[in-house]
Amino acid sequence: DDFSKVVNVLKNKVPGITIATDIIAGFPTETDDDFKETMILCKKYKFPSLFINQFFPRPGTPAAKMKRVATTKEVKKRTKELSDYFQSYEPYKNRIGKKYSSVLVTETSHDGNYLVGHNEFYEQILVPKDDVLLGKCVDIEITSVSKFSMMGKLVSEPVLANDAPLKSAEVEAPKSYKGSLIYKLSLGILFLAVCVRILQLFSCALSKNK
């Protein structure tokens, strides 16, 4: 219930948000009912990324000392059921024809055939390989999908992610944030921390000279 509440709030506040999760199959206290609830959650949300691990009793952890409810055979069966379900659907199958703006292209795909970009929800989008696109933002129309990514074509000219690059070691805060009380307090706390550190170093230096 708690998990569903968190996911539902996130989806309501940020429509289109990507939700991924990790699952440990066969935790010592996991019952058949617990596993059924896990499967219900997976079928409800159809996570685009789902990391499934079989429980392993790592020495020195509290879980390693717990009595296991399920047998090793049952745990393997649960792990396989989760994996089979995850492989049974394509989370992006309804995206063909959808357009995304400001997709940031950052790297070359593992097979070297495409460039990899991400939309605002950090979903992976493959685009035609053209090194001119690296480090730039492009508008994309999705043309095909796979289990783990979408592929698309450019529908706009590439633009730099930031037309006015920051100077080395310079970080720019949003204008709305710069004028906020939180921003001013943050600067004040940072300044105070620096002063305290300088005093500490000065005190240490005096102590060594005595």
- For residue 36, the model assigns a pLDDT of 96
Over residues 18-46, the pLDDT tens digits come to 999 999 999 999 999 999 999 999 999 99
- For residue 159, the model assigns a pLDDT of 86
Class of domain 1-88 as given by CATH: alpha beta
CA–CA distances in Å: residue 134 to residues 38, 81, 118, 138, 190: 40, 40, 12, 10, 35
**Which residues of the chain fall below pLDDT 50?**
164-172, 174, 176-178
- For residue 166, the model assigns a pLDDT of 46
Fold: same for 1-88 and 98-160: no
Question: 98-160: what fold?
Answer: OB fold (Dihydrolipoamide Acetyltransferase, E2P) (2.40.50)
- For residue 23, the model assigns a pLDDT of 94
Other CB atoms closer than 10 Å to residue 127's CB: what's the count?
Answer: 21
- For residue 187, the model assigns a pLDDT of 66
> pTM of the predicted model, to two decimals?
0.67
Q: Which residues of 28-49 are buried (b: 16+ CB within 10 A; e: fewer)?
A: bebeeeebeebeeebeebebbe
The percentage of residues in the chain with a pLDDT greater than 70, rounded to a whole number, is 77
- For residue 170, the model assigns a pLDDT of 45
Over residues 86-116, the pLDDT tens digits come to 999 999 999 999 999 999 999 999 999 999 9
Domain ranges of the chain: 1-88, 98-160
